């Protein structure tokens, strides 16, 4: 009888030991064979990096929800974690102002914390252009933007470069080639900063190329003053110095093929000045005139 009770009691102790052994094990936790983190609890974060972001209003989604608003470049992570084996799909819900952001490596299966999603933002492209005026019929002017994207314009009116410029970038319109006998200049060619929308304010004005008329006054007393004229106007006062010859240039230029005639309008005190050997008159021939010689005695 006693041996039977002992057997029963021994079996009870053995059963109790088995139960306690089963209860003493540590609880299971999430693990990862890939990825760079261990996650929090039973979930892993989904995120990555964003570059080029300048505007505001960028909103991302993961699996069509879990909206995440971003306002600057750098790393990001969605607030909701996902369990091992779950799928993720990062998309752009709302683009930022004046920019377009593209997702890279945005889909996959969770095996750990996801940090490989990329978001690349670039400015919205806008066209650059304006107007050309003064261009003679049958001629053309070649324009450039930012030192390239050559554009040949053969008539007055509107023009637009073929290559657009991204929002936030700069533009610089210049003249590469003017038509023969003409000089084309650019106004508003660089804007007041960077591109913020379509540019239509560039103004290209073409006009006949002007050449200067000038030379030297020789023998003028150091205290003397002589007034010169070109074609009866454009008064120019030349003041004597200790130099043997005093250079001068009229302010008003003349177009190619235009006649010029330099004369003395007012003589200096005690002296008489005149153009030497017909050097005071002639025809502009595609270059600045620098050989007019006024002799004072």
Q: Is the pLDDT of residue 225 over 60?
A: yes
CATH (residue range 211-296)? 2.60.40
The model's pTM is 0.66
Taking only the tens place, the pLDDT of each residue in 174-196 is 999 999 999 999 999 997 667 88
The answer to whether 34 touches 112, Cβ cutoff 8 Å, is yes
Q: Which residues are bridge partners to 296 per DSSP? A: 273
Rounded CA separation 263/152 (Å): 43
- The domains of the chain are located at 46-123, 125-208, 211-296
Whether the CA torsion 262, 265, 271, 272 is positive or negative: it is positive
Q: Looking at residue 194, what is its pLDDT? A: 79
Taking only the tens place, the pLDDT of each residue in 26-36 is 333 333 222 33
Taking only the tens place, the pLDDT of each residue in 134-184 is 999 999 999 999 999 999 999 999 999 999 999 888 999 999 999 999 999
- Which has the higher per-residue pLDDT, 12 or 207? 207
Whether the CA torsion 182, 248, 233, 277 is positive or negative: it is negative
Taking only the tens place, the pLDDT of each residue in 208-220 is 999 999 999 999 9
Rounded CA separation 176/297 (Å): 48
In terms of DSSP H, where are the helices of the chain? 2-23
Tally Cβ neighbours within 10 Å of residue 68: 18
């Amino acid at each position: 009888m006693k041996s039977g009770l002992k057997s029963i009691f021994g079996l009870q102790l053995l059963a109790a030991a088995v139960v306690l052994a089963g209860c003493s094990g540590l609880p299971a936790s999430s693990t990862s064979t890939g990825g760079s983190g261990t996650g929090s609890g039973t979930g892993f974060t989904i995120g990555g990096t964003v570059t080029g972001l300048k505007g505001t209003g960028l909103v991302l989604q993961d699996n069509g929800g879990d909206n995440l608003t971003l306002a600057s470049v750098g790393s990001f992570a969605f607030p909701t974690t996902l369990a091992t084996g779950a799928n993720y799909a990062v998309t752009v819900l709302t683009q930022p102002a004046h920019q377009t952001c593209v997702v890279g490596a945005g889909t996959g299966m969770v095996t750990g914390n996801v940090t490989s999603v990329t978001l690349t933002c670039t400015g919205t492209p806008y066209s650059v252009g304006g107007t050309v005026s003064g261009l003679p019929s049958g001629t053309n002017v070649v324009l450039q933007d930012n030192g390239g994207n050559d554009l040949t314009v053969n008539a007055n009116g509107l023009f637009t470069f073929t290559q657009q410029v991204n929002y936030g970038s700069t533009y610089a319109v210049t003249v590469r080639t003017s038509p023969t006998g003409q000089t084309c200049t650019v106004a508003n060619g660089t804007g007041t900063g960077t591109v913020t929308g379509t540019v239509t304010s560039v103004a290209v004005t073409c006009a006949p190329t002007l050449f200067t008329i000038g030379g030297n006054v020789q023998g003028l007393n150091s205290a003397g003053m002589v007034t010169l004229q070109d074609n009866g106007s454009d008064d120019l006062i030349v003041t004597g110095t200790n130099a043997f010859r005093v250079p001068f240039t009229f302010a008003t230029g003349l177009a190619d093929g235009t006649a010029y005639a330099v004369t003395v309008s007012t003589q200096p005190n005690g002296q008489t000045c005149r153009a030497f050997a017909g050097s005071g008159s002639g025809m502009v021939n595609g270059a600045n005139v620098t050989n007019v010689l006024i002799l004072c005695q």
